[in-house]
Structure 1
Amino acid sequence: MVKKLLSDNVSYNLIKNIASYPEKIIEAAKRYEPSIISRYIINLSSAFNKFYHECNVMNAEVELRESRLILVDLTQKIIKDTMGLLGIECPEEM
């Protein structure tokens, strides 16, 4: 039997946001519109916030926890990269 990890709507929405990262950067560059990147950061942060509050990351079963931690890590890296593109330094912790 194959387990479906990250099959809930909240995780799926975050994955869709993460997957659109390259597309948004290319679009912003082609149109010379950095606001596309800032809107992307807001949307990604919103999706992550909902994910963080609705999906228990640390107390989930091992496979699910590892999958969710990958989403957390990817989100953090993308936010840091996109903020850097806008010339904004991210705090190390909050």
Structure 2
Amino acid sequence: MQEKRDESIIREFRRRKSRQFYAVGMVLFLLVAILWKHSHPGLLLGELSKPVVLFLEAALVGAFFAFSASNWRCPACNHYLGPNIAQEYCRKCRSRLQ
């Protein structure tokens, strides 16, 4: 019984970790796209002013932090896992994550 629980925790942690990697990649891509669009004003949707670029970047980073705060938690106890992406155990409940 405990082994099934451990396996489900590990599986859920893998899902959360892959979502975290996907979010990092998406945010980096969008930040580069916004900067590229700012430096090439004649292409596509028109010109982006500097305040608009700064607002979009701040909103994107803020959304990423909000997503990370809700996603990057222990599947067993819901404790925030911190900055370590390769964490083996939860610091609070000691559940095995990998």
Report the TM-score range of the alignment, normalised by the length of the smaller protein.
0.3 to 0.5
TM-score calculated relative to the size of structure 2: 0.45
Structure with bigger gyration radius: 2
Question: Greater helix share, 1 or 2?
Answer: 1
